[in-house]
């Protein structure tokens, strides 16, 4: 029968199922095809907190949300338009987020009495009136997949595992996604298991054909490509972009890249990715613990490498003593903190911005460290290069604060021209006739010389005890200690001179309210500000990349507005610092539930504060 094709400007899809149902794989591949098609997009993978939660239970639900559109978007969407629920747990966990009238594609095969009881359903919600407010498409995904693969040679259990590809095929038909990339992906992924590759391809095609032929889906949807700046684009996640940024910084500086790391969620993917790039001179060391990882990285920095260590909040706590040593030694070192919910082990698979004060002050003594925070998955590439620029130029450890949302989320990324990237000249010390002074200073940056060990004439002491000015000898002199403390602080302060002025987004030019942000909140703040402006109230928006030191013009900017509102995924950490530094009454909006802000919630909070409420 002829089927209607309906034009849409945007869609939010959420795949949800058990942690073993392949929802992340299906979501990733749908995202890849959407990127190839040319839509703008933003994703929100949501992993179970328990590594091996019992199958079919609420703690074991894994989901992947994708927002794609024919125009620029900045968030993964407030709520899904379509929910694909692979079992009762997925339905129960995600139904509260689904507005009435939206579509549910549900795998009826998994709605057994046993699975229903696991999540507290006394009766089958598919049989009563509980779901009558939504458009429910009942599809026996498991049994249809098994039937499609009955000649594949796989047993029923193995065949049923391909049901995520059946669902992906159905959704690809519904939204006119390309298929060639998915077929190539499956062939490559299962290249060593041709029978499994053929089965997954068959399941994908069966799902597509089911959508094409069934009367259950009378409408398919089309979302045209977005209008984007000319260039070559690819879909990229934050951790992948960060990895590429580190490699680019290595190549632009001429320094070999060394990563010393201990696996920790959500930072481990950086170690996995960089280990693939030995051809670019990358060396990766999976250490026995966090302390060994940063110790090896600091040793590599001493030896003349672009040294990196990656971790999350608990690892930063363990690395703090060595970060202090790097401050004292004044060596370039990149510490990438991919933040997650805390304290302690906390919420390993969830996102927060709760490590800012730890990054600023979590060391003994006066140990200032520059801090850089990317604002989107693609921006992790540029943030990595900026962190490397600061570290190499000013001879200092630098903390890069990403988070789980950026690390695992993805967006279209314009591949940059390599020649447009900044050069990061290390300017190593060279031997001269005069005695070498390891703590002599560059007059502009206050950076000390970077002397490669083993170079004749550049021998010098190294260690954690206080150094004498210029000579680097061990010194217990109180006057010298105060001088060195103030020099190290002044060096970090001087970084502000190389930071460009802040860019204020104020279309009206008349806003008296400034919405400030940092890190991963950029996209949702941008969306919420647009919505408040459409309601007739002008607001300005500024987003910070540099959190230590702050941009030179930040104080004057904050003082020029009647109200400053700061949304953060913590209890007000940056607001605390800004109040103390600039004596400005910052109005905070805070959330610490392990999830990003929703634009609709942030819009209402902004609206209340703009109208005068102070809660």
- Res 2: pLDDT: 74
Please give the structure tokens belonging to residue 429: 């010390």
Report strand pairing: 513-518 vs 563-568.
parallel
As a whole number of angstroms, the distance between CA 575 and CA 568 comes to: 9
Q: Which of 383, 401, 353, 35 minimizes the C-alpha distance to 185?
A: 35
CATH code, 234-416: 3.40.50.970
- SS3 label, residue 440: coil
Please give the structure tokens belonging to residue 49: 């907190």
Q: Which of 191, 211, 213 minimizes the C-alpha distance to 201?
A: 191
As a whole number of angstroms, the distance between CA 69 and CA 227 comes to: 10
Contacts of 103 (CB under 8 A, 6+ apart): 81, 82, 83, 134, 135, 136, 137
As a whole number of angstroms, the distance between CA 482 and CA 469 comes to: 10
Do the beta carbons of residue 29 and residue 168 sit within 8 Å?
yes
Q: Name the burial class of residue 234, with classes exposed (0-12), middle (13-18) and buried (19+) by CB atoms within 10 angstroms of its CB.
A: middle
Whether the ω angle into residue 343 lies within 30 degrees of 0, i.e. cis, is yes
Q: pTM (2 decimals)? A: 0.96
Please give the structure tokens belonging to residue 467: 């150094």
- Res 38: pLDDT: 96
- Res 1: pLDDT: 61
Q: Where in the chain is the domain with CATH 3.40.50.970?
A: 234-416
Q: Where in the chain is the domain with CATH 3.40.920.10?
A: 4-223
- Res 499: pLDDT: 98
Please give the structure tokens belonging to residue 201: 């391809």
C-alpha angle 77-82-86 in degrees, rounded to nearest 5: 115
Cα–Cα distance list, 264 to 229, 311, 403 (Å) = 36, 6, 13
Do the beta carbons of residue 108 and residue 139 sit within 8 Å?
yes
Give the position of tokens 């210029």: 470
What stretches in the chain show pLDDT beneath 50?
614-615
- Res 614: pLDDT: 46
CATH code, 513-610: 3.40.50.920
Helices (H), 450-598: 478-494, 522-534, 554-559, 573-582
Read off the pLDDT of residues 178-221 as tens digits, 9 standing for 90 and up: 999 999 999 999 999 999 999 999 999 999 999 999 999 999 99
User: Residues 146-159, buried b or exposed e (16+ Cβ, 10 A)?
Assistant: bebbeebebeeeeb
DSSP 207-226: HHHHHHH-SS--EEEEEPPP
- Res 51: pLDDT: 77
The C-alpha R_g of the chain, in whole angstroms, comes to 27
Do the beta carbons of residue 245 and residue 383 sit within 8 Å?
yes
As a whole number of angstroms, the distance between CA 254 and CA 365 comes to: 33
As a whole number of angstroms, the distance between CA 251 and CA 451 comes to: 20
Q: Which of 299, 247, 288 minimizes the C-alpha distance to 270?
A: 247
Whether the ω angle into residue 433 lies within 30 degrees of 0, i.e. cis, is no
Superfamily of domain 4-223: Pyruvate-ferredoxin oxidoreductase, PFOR, domain III (3.40.920.10)
- Res 615: pLDDT: 43
Q: Where in the chain is the domain with CATH 3.40.50.920?
A: 513-610
Read off the pLDDT of residues 332-374 as tens digits, 9 standing for 90 and up: 999 999 999 999 999 999 999 999 999 999 999 999 999 999 9
- SS3 label, residue 114: helix
C-alpha angle 590-591-597 in degrees, rounded to nearest 5: 105
Please give the structure tokens belonging to residue 583: 């004596």
Cα–Cα distance list, 88 to 121, 346, 546 (Å) = 8, 27, 45
- Res 463: pLDDT: 93
As a whole number of angstroms, the distance between CA 315 and CA 319 comes to: 6
């Amino acid at each position: 029968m002829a089927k209607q094709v309906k034009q849409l400007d945007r869609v939010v899809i959420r795949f949800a199922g058990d942690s073993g149902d392949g929802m992340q794989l299906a979501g990733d591949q749908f995202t890849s095809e959407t990127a190839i098609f040319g839509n703008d997009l933003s994703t929100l993978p949501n992993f179970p907190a328990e590594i091996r939660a019992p199958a079919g239970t609420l703690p074991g639900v894994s989901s992947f949300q994708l927002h794609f559109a024919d125009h620029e978007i900045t968030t993964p969407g407030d709520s899904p338009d379509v929910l694909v629920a692979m079992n009762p747990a997925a339905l129960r966990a995600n139904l509260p987020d689904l507005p009435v009238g939206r579509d549910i594609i549900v795998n009826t095969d998994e709605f057994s009495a046993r699975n229903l009881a696991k999540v507290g359903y006394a009766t089958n919600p598919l049989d009563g009136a509980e779901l009558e407010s939504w458009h429910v498409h009942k599809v026996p995904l498991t049994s249809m997949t098994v039937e499609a693969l009955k000649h594949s040679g796989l047993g029923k259990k193995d065949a049923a595992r391909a049901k995520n590809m059946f669902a992906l095929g159905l959704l690809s038909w519904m939204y006119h996604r390309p298929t060639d990339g998915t077929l190539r992906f499956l062939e490559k992924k299962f290249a060593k298991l041709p029978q499994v590759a053929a089965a997954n391809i068959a399941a994908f095609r069966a799902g597509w054909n089911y959508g094409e032929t069934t009367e259950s889906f009378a409408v398919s949807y089309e979302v045209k490509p977005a209008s984007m700046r000319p260039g070559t684009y690819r879909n990229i996640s934050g951790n992948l972009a960060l990895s590429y940024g580190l490699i680019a910084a290595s190549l632009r500086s001429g320094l070999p890249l060394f990563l010393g790391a201990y696996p920790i969620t959500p930072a481990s993917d950086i170690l996995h990715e960089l280990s693939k790039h030995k051809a670019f001179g990358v060396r990766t060391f999976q250490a026995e613990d966090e302390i060994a990882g940063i110790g090896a990285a600091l040793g590599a920095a001493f030896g003349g490498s672009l040294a990196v260590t990656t971790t999350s909040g608990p690892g930063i706590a363990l690395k703090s003593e060595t970060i202090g040593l790097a401050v004292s030694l004044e060596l370039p070192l990149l510490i990438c903190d991919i933040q997650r919910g805390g304290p302690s082990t906390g919420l390993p698979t969830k996102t927060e911005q709760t490590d800012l004060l730890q990054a600023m002050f979590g060391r003994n003594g006066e140990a200032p460290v520059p801090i850089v925070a990317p604002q989107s998955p693609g921006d992790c590439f540029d943030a990595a290069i900026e962190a490397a620029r600061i570290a190499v130029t000013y001879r200092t450890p630098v903390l890069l604060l990403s988070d789980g949302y950026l690390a695992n989320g993805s967006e279209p990324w314009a591949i940059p021209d390599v020649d447009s990237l900044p050069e990061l000249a290390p300017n190593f010390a060279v031997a001269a006739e005069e005695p070498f002074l390891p703590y002599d200073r560059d007059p502009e940056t206050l950076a000390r010389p970077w002397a490669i060990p083993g170079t004749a004439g550049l021998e010098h002491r190294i260690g954690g005890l206080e150094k004498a000015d210029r000579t680097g000898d061990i010194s217990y002199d109180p006057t010298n200690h105060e001088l060195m403390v103030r020099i190290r602080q002044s060096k970090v302060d001087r970084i502000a001179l190389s930071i460009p002025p802040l860019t204020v987004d104020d279309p009206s030019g008349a806003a008296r309210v400034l919405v400030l942000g940092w890190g991963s909140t950029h996209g949702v703040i941008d969306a919420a500000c647009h919505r408040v402006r459409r309601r007739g109230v002008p607001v300005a928006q500024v987003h910070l990349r540099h959190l230590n030191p702050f941009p030179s013009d930040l104080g004057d900017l904050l003082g020029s507005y009647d109200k400053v509102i700061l949304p953060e995924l913590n209890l007000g950490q940056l607001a605390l610092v800004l109040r103390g530094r600039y004596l400005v009454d910052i109005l905070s909006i805070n959330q610490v539930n392990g999830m990003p802000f929703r634009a609709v919630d942030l819009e209402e909070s902004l609206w209340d504060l703009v109208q005068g409420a102070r809660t």
